[in-house]
Amino acid sequence: MGVRGSPALKKGALISLDRDTAEIEELCRSADIDVIYVVMQRRTRPDKTYFLGRGKFNELRDLLVERPVDVMVINGELDPPQHFNLENGLKVECLDRIAVVLDIFTSRAEGRESKLQVELARLRYQVPLMREWVHSAKAGEHPGFLGGGEYQVDVYYNVIRRRIAQIDEELRSLARDGDLRRGMRRFKGFRTVCLAGYTNAGKSSLMRRLTGEEVLVADRMFSTLGTTTRRVGSSKILLTDTVGFLKDLPHFMVESFRNTLQDVFTADLVVLVIDSSEPLFNVSSKVLAVQDILGKGVLNGKLLVALNKMDQDPDRLTEMITTIHDVLDPLSVIGVSAVTGDGIEELLEAMQSFFRPPVVVRFKAENGKRAAIEISRLYDDYFVESVIYSDMAEVTFRCHEDDLEKVMDRLYSLPGIKDVSSAVESRYSR
């Protein structure tokens, strides 16, 4: 079927109708496929039978005799008849772009939920191919050179359908567990920030810089498949790193990873990480791909954009910010470098500002046991900005308007209370 793990380096050839092969070649590298040559054909649309035109297909078949490979990679998405005809005609394993991604996912998945999501996506990919193989077998054709006859294919097709139903049920159970976990974090006063973005934009590197904790960082696509959550310093902000996005993903793949995407949709704040070292056209294209997966308007009012790798070309910051605002409506666009640390303090301040309640309360009280108990309570329940100790304890903290009357009643009972004031300020300034 051509959707298997790739523990050893494979020799591959690449078929493309587009001269821009940078992304597919990077995907091949991440899937441990060594592309030794490229077969290029300029066409406005793929051939319905062989993806390539018939003449080019015959040339490729002859070329494979002279320069055999382990796998043929197609820079595009094959429909089932094209996949069947290519494998049956070339007698070599054929992987389209989605199959290469699934190979990467299969080799990267570690946690139970990640493995189930990958298996679900892989099986959903195989279902239409199985239908084509069953159809070909019943028509008297050989169901692909990797197939084993009509009976085996038909049985495997039924096994796939049953397994999909089992995985769906288990993922629903894990989703309920995730909802409970998120609810408990919120009950304890934690707020969540989710890192999202195109694959290999540097999300994991940025997470390590923001939290100071070790997370997997690799210069390859989809190094992170599941979700990783870390606390930002001593704050009550939890930062979650998620799977990278890819343009033109079929609906079944997005649906298979709905549990992981739920972390993006339910986050209090989303930081969209963008690789600013790329050409502007690529940046716009990838931002649109992320928007297409998440949906327009879903992140309105809770989106920050981090332009990562700004150390490589800081002069482009203004131009890049304009490009981002043309596509999205973020709260702010901040240039950062996960490598040098530039812009990290500004990003942290923007994240913390987002969660600051709007009411600022200031007071002075006698520096004693009662004040110490109340200040400790304020740290637990609200957002304390500063405490200055002398003969008096001088405190500045933030709370929500709904809590103001309750907290004021407590403050006025403190010994020596004076200079109490409250004012509503914006929690976040653009």
Q: How far apart are CA 330 and CA 274, in angstroms?
A: 13
pLDDT for 218 equals 47
CA–CA separation, 95 and 14 (whole Å): 10
Cα–Cα distance for residue pair 300/277, rounded to 1 Å: 26
- Within 13 Å and on the Cβ side, how many CA atoms surround 243? 28
Q: Which pLDDT value is given to residue 138?
A: 62
In the numeric block, which tokens belong to residue 181?
């976990």
pLDDT tens string for the chain (430 positions)?
444 444 578 999 999 998 889 889 989 998 899 999 999 998 889 999 999 999 999 999 999 999 999 999 999 999 999 998 998 899 999 999 999 988 888 887 777 888 888 889 889 888 888 777 776 666 655 544 444 444 566 677 788 889 999 999 998 898 888 888 888 877 777 888 999 888 888 888 888 888 876 654 444 444 455 567 888 877 778 888 887 777 777 777 777 777 777 888 888 999 999 988 888 888 888 888 888 887 776 677 888 999 998 877 777 778 888 888 888 888 889 999 988 999 999 999 899 888 888 899 999 999 999 999 999 999 888 888 899 999 999 999 998 888 899 999 999 999 999 999 988 876 544 3
Contact 377/407 with Cβ under 8 angstroms? Answer: no
Beta bridge partners of 303: 270
| b/e code 241-274 from CB counts within 10 Å (16+ = b) | bbbbbbeebeeebeebbebbbbbbeebbbbbbbb
Residues 87 and 93: beta-carbon distance below 8 Å: yes
Q: How far apart are CA 120 and CA 127, in angstroms?
A: 11
Q: Taking the complete model, does pTM exceed 0.75, yes or no?
A: no
Whether 112 and 178 have beta carbons less than 8 Å apart is answered as: no
Sign of the four-CA dihedral 14, 253, 171, 80: negative
Chain centre distance of CA 6: 22
Strand order in the sheet with 10-16: 33-40, 10-16, 71-74, 93-96
